[in-house]
Amino acid sequence: METLSNLADGFVIALTLQNLFLALLGCFLGTVIGALPGLGPSNGVAILIPLAFTLGLPATPALILLTSVYYGAMYGGRISSILLNIPGDEPAMMTTLDGYPMAQQGRAGEALALSGVASFVGAFFATWGLVFLAPQLVKVALLFGPAEYFALFSLAFATLGGIASRNQAKAAMAAALGLGIAMIGVDGQTGVPRFAFGNVHFYDGIDFLVAIVGLFAVSEVFVFLEHRGEARGAGQEDKMKLGRVTPSLATLAGTGWTMARSTVLGFLSGVLPGAGASLGSFISYSVEKRLVDREGTFGTGDPRGVAAPEAGNNAAAGGALVPMLALGVPGSGTTAVLLAMLLALNITPGPLLFQSNPDVVWGLVAALFIGNLMLLLLNIPMVSLFVRVLLVPPKYLMPIVAMISFVGIYGISGSTFDLLVMIVFGVIGWVLRKLEVPLVPIILGVLLGNEMESNLRRALTISDGDWSILVGSPLAIILWALAITGFVLPMLFGRFFRMRMRHERAGEEGADPD
Amino acid sequence: MSDRVLGGCGLLLAFFYIWQATQIRVSFISDPLGPKSFPIIIGAMLGLASLYMILRPDPEPVWPRFARLFEIAVAVAVLAAYAMLLPELGFVISTALAAAFLSWRLGAGPIAAPVAGIGISLGIYAVFHLILGLSLARGPLGL
């Protein structure tokens, strides 16, 4: 099979000493980032992109490093959920429901080990899903013309706004802000400057890395400043007994079907553009609760309640890579950040990537398999080491995060102006988070804005200014129909859905936007 | 109320944005759509979303008390000053100052904070400059 031989080639690329080392480093850093409350996959990857970029790593190794961080963060998020009842990131929110009660019963080690295995199962099979689904999607994507691409981008914004936010107007506003920011700078097709106000710094446009790091990482510092002194963070875990750090065979056998079902559900919700890992873990948990919770033990430390959301969110993390790689449309906040990295490395994801740079794609997929295995090995025996990471208090952690953000952005351009723009984005990010305006559509807008506009203009050039070309093919009509459904349907069901989610676990304000 | 204020700002921004878009000078060769139309569409979308927020605002978020807001403003000012002083003072000194300030404001004591600042600064310098070879801002001391 062609796919498998491609994958074998990928392993040849990934199995060099340098790439193995980068995968290991990424997995380790990722787990630490995921475990630390206040740092999650999106902002963790965001502050590392400029660094990977300035270190001059070639595309494949850089991608291997950062996707390992991404997978690692998904693993790491569970640690503080289980031990402290504080999700390390939003997808790990559901893990607190049964993980923390297990820890209180002195079964913390078991919960950590079990969730480690569940994460592995979810991510492992989702990576296989990626291997087989992505090339199929590429075949469809090859039929896309500019009009279809424009519809596809609209679809991404619509579903992202529909599912990821409680208020569609705020999601639309965020998308418009992002797109508006992308318009700044010299227009690629006619060469006229737009929204530059005669300032030379604006002629190149606003670097999306500056925007991402500002919105995700710098704003986090302000959130912590705002909540200083409130009960949040480390302090109580030294009382916590880890207990045995291997899951018993009986527990594993008892959670097998749960993991299998959650993996499928998680993967599917990851593939949907805009849904992401939070939805994956939520759906998995709710479905399992309905299916197998006959004695009402969910919420009181049921191992199945730990396995379901962890398998679900890691499977979603893998699933979210499918639309990102095959179509260039990210499925979640963190994959939007990964997309930013690809663009920074001058790689445009999408169907052409599979043809022109198969080494990047398959090297990455192989690295995901390897990283996954490393994460399992890192996470089971070394979990007590990661637990110690939780002891770093925010008063030392957040200055480090802020300073590393500055180092990364300064490293790219050496320009004070970019640093100031980053701070402005940090403030905007903080205010918008207070008002519950989602940040991910902004990032998506900044990333996709120019591509979206040039597809629209190309389509209208083909049709010589006739707008009907946008709905001129069955494929485009399907995409528009999906976009409208994705935007309208959550208005009817989404409110109910989000309320349930909040109800099950009072939402952490300013949690990681994935 | 906060949503209405945000909506109002968004609406003003939308008007300004559309007005600026109409000011874009189009060169004599252009594609049928030109560089103006898409920004105008975006501006309209921003305006509509803002209008909706003015009409149907969400419940009020919990704003921190004034003292906290002021503190965040000071932190912003310190970070901006850091950005401007970076090329003057060099990486190690300015980072130590900024990091010490942040960790002090996040709750570290009067001795712990400067120690943390110096530690963070030297730590980042060691990892990113000495080990990874990233070029950081160079100051008068060559650091």
Q: How confident is the model at residue A242 (pLDDT cuts 50, 70, 90)?
A: low
- Which residues lie below 8 Å from residue A511, measured CB to CB, with a gap of 6+? A40, A87, A89, A90, A93
pLDDT tens per residue across span B61-111? 888 888 888 889 999 999 999 998 888 888 888 899 999 998 988 888 888
Phi-psi domain of A36 (left: phi exceeds 0; alpha: psi -120 through 50; beta: other): beta
User: By the 8 A CB rule, do A222 and A427 touch?
Assistant: yes
Q: Which residue has the higher pLDDT, A294 or A281?
A: A281
Q: Structure tokens of A413?
A: 């351009």
pLDDT of residue A234: 44
Q: How far is A40 from chain B (nearest CA, A)?
A: 20
Q: Is A175 in Cβ contact with B32 (below 8 Å)?
A: no
**Would you call A423 and B80 a contact, using CB atoms and an 8 Å cutoff?**
yes
Which residues of chain A have a CB within 8 Å of the CB of B134? 51, 54-55, 407, 411
pLDDT given at position B131: 77
Please name the residue that has the structure tokens 């952690």. A397
Q: Supply A380's token pair.
A: 């089971």
Could you give the CA distance from residue A143 to residue A475 in angstroms, rounded to a whole number? 9
Instruction: Residue A318: name the closest of A338, A304, A303 by CA.
Output: A338
pLDDT at B47: 93
For residue A274, is pLDDT > 70?
no
Which chain B residues touch A406 with a CB distance below 8 Å?
Answer: 82-83, 86, 95
**What is each CA distance from B73 to A352, A373, A401, A423, in whole angstroms?**
46, 45, 19, 11
Residue bearing tokens 């991510």: A123
Q: Which two tokens stand for residue A143?
A: 């039929």
Which of A154, A225, A502 to mutate against chain B (most B CBs within 10 Å)?
A225
- Is the pLDDT score of B18 beyond 50? yes
**CB contacts, 8 Å: B34 with chain A:** 190
Q: Which residues of A touch B91 (CB under 8 A)?
A: 407
Tell me the pLDDT of chain B averaged across its residues: 85
Worst-scoring range by mean pLDDT, A242-251, A256-265, A296-305? A242-251
| DSSP single-letter state for residue A514 | -
Domain extent listing, chain A: 2-504
CA-to-CA dists, residue A188 to A147, A208, B33, angstroms: 19, 16, 13
Helix (H) or strand (E) holding A194: strand A193-194
The answer on pLDDT for A270 being more than 60 is yes
- DSSP secondary structure code for residue B128 in this structure: I
Number of CB atoms found within 10 A of residue A361's CB? 26
Q: What pLDDT score does A5 carry?
A: 84
Chain A residue closest to B138 (CA)?
A414
R_g (Cα) of chain A, nearest Å? 22
Contact list in B for residue A205 (CB cut-off 8 A) is none
State which H helix or E strand residue A186 sits in.
strand A185-186
**Tell me, what's the pLDDT at A503?**
55
Higher per-residue confidence, A54 vs A195: A195
B23, B102, B127, best to mutate vs chain A, most A CBs in 10 Å: B102
Predicted pLDDT at A510: 39
Residue with tokens 């921190």: B64
pLDDT in tens, A142-170: 888 889 889 888 888 887 776 666 778 88
Residue of A nearest to B100 (CA): A399
Q: What's the confidence (pLDDT) of residue A235?
A: 45
DSSP string, A355-366: HH-HHHHHHHHH
Report the alpha-carbon distance of residue A371 to residue A78 in Å, rounded.
Answer: 18
Give the CA angle between residues A404, A407, A411 to the nearest 5°: 145
Percent of chain A with pLDDT strictly greater than 70:
88
**DSSP SS3 for A347:** coil
Give the pLDDT score at A162.
67
CB spacing of B42 vs A190 below 8 angstroms: no
For residue A256, pLDDT beyond 50: yes
Q: What interface predicted TM-score (ipTM) does this complex get?
A: 0.91
Cβ neighbours around A232 below 10 Å, total: 15
Which chain B residues are closer than 8 Å to A393 by Cβ? Answer: 107
Mean pLDDT, residues A298-316: 85
**Contact check, Cβ <8 Å, A423/B83:** yes
Residue B47 near residue B10, CB atoms below 8 Å:
yes
Which residues lie across from A193 on neighbouring strands? A186
**Predicted confidence (pLDDT) per residue in A459-498, tens digit:** 988 888 788 888 888 888 988 998 888 787 777 765 555 5
Contacts of B31 in chain A (CB under 8 A): 189-190, 457, 460-461
In eight-state DSSP terms, residue A466 is -
Q: Are A229 and B105 in contact (CB under 8 A)?
A: no
Mean pLDDT of A231-258: 64
What mean pLDDT do residues A216-223 have?
A: 87
| Residue B71, token pair as written in the block | 């503190």
- Residue A244's pLDDT band (cuts 50, 70, 90): low
Of B17, B31, B108, the CB nearest to A180: B17
Instruction: Say yes or no for a CB contact (<8 Å) between A403 and B105.
Output: no
Pairwise CA distance, residues A317 & A66, whole Å: 13
- Least CB–CB distance from A225: residue in B63, B106, B108: B106
- What is the nearest CA distance from B131 to chain A, expressed in angstroms? 11
**Residue in B closest to A190 by C-alpha:** B30
* Per-residue pLDDT at B11: 92
Write down the pLDDT at residue A237.
45
- Record the tokens describing residue A166, joined without a space: 């409680």
Which residues lie below 8 Å from residue A290, measured CB to CB, with a gap of 6+?
Answer: none
Q: Among all residues of chain B, which has the CA nearest to that of A458?
A: B31
Which tokens in the block code for residue A234? Answer: 């480390």
Task: Give the gap in angstroms from C-alpha B47 to the nearest C-alpha of chain A.
Answer: 8
CB-based contact A130:A124 (threshold 8 Å): no
DSSP B60: P
Where is A185: in which H helix or E strand?
strand A185-186
Rounded-to-integer distance, Cα A52 and Cα A45, Å: 10
| CB–CB contacts below 8 A, A to B | 191
Chain B residue with minimum CA distance to A194: B24
CB A174 within 8 A of CB A441: yes
pLDDT digits (tens, 9 = 90+) for A44-68: 888 888 877 777 788 888 888 888 8
Cα first-last separation, chain B: 49
Q: Is the pLDDT of residue A85 over 60?
A: yes
Chain A nearest C-alpha distance from B59 (Å): 9
Burial class (CB in 10 A: 0-12, 13-18, 19+), A206: buried
Chain A residues with CB-CB distance to B49 below 8 A:
169-170, 172-173, 176
Mean pLDDT of B27-51: 86
Mean pLDDT, chain A, whole residue set = 81
How would you classify the pairing of strands A185-186 and A193-194?
antiparallel
Q: What is the dihedral of CA A107, A109, A111, A114, to 10 degrees?
A: -140
Judge: B61–A434 Cβ closer than 8 Å, yes or no: yes
CA angle A397, A402, A404 (to 5 degrees): 95
Proportion of chain A above pLDDT 90, given as a percent: 6
Residue A241 vs residue A205, higher pLDDT: A205
CB contact under 8 A, B98 and A399: yes
Residue A9 has what pLDDT?
84
pLDDT of residue A88: 64
Query: Which one is predicted more confidently, A115 or A388?
Result: A115
Contact A312, A95 (CB under 8 A): no
Show the tokens assigned to A97.
């429901």
Chain A CA closest to residue B64:
A226
* Residue corresponding to tokens 């968004």: B10
Q: Do A245 and A384 form a contact (C-beta atoms < 8 A)?
A: yes
Mean pLDDT lowest among A110-119, A143-152, B131-140 = B131-140
A194 interaction partners in chain B (CB closer than 8 Å):
21, 24, 35, 39
- 3-state secondary structure at position A150: helix
B42-68 core/surface letters (b: 16 or more CB in 10 A; e: else): bbebbbbbbbbbbeebbeeeeeeeeee
**CA–CA dist A239, A217 (Å, integer):** 31
Residues A93, A79, A115: CA angle, nearest 5 degrees: 80
**Confidence grade of residue A506 (pLDDT, cut at 50, 70, 90):** very low
Q: Are B10 and B54 in contact (CB under 8 A)?
A: no
Residue A368 has what pLDDT?
87
How many angstroms separate the CA atoms of A396 and A411, rounded? 23
Hey, are the CB atoms on A190 and B83 less than 8 Å from each other?
no
Identity of the highest mean pLDDT range in A125-129, A194-198, A410-414, B125-129: A125-129
**Which sign, positive or negative, has the C-alpha torsion B56, B61, B66, B68?**
negative
Angle, vertex CA A337, rays to CA A334 and CA A338, nearest 5: 90
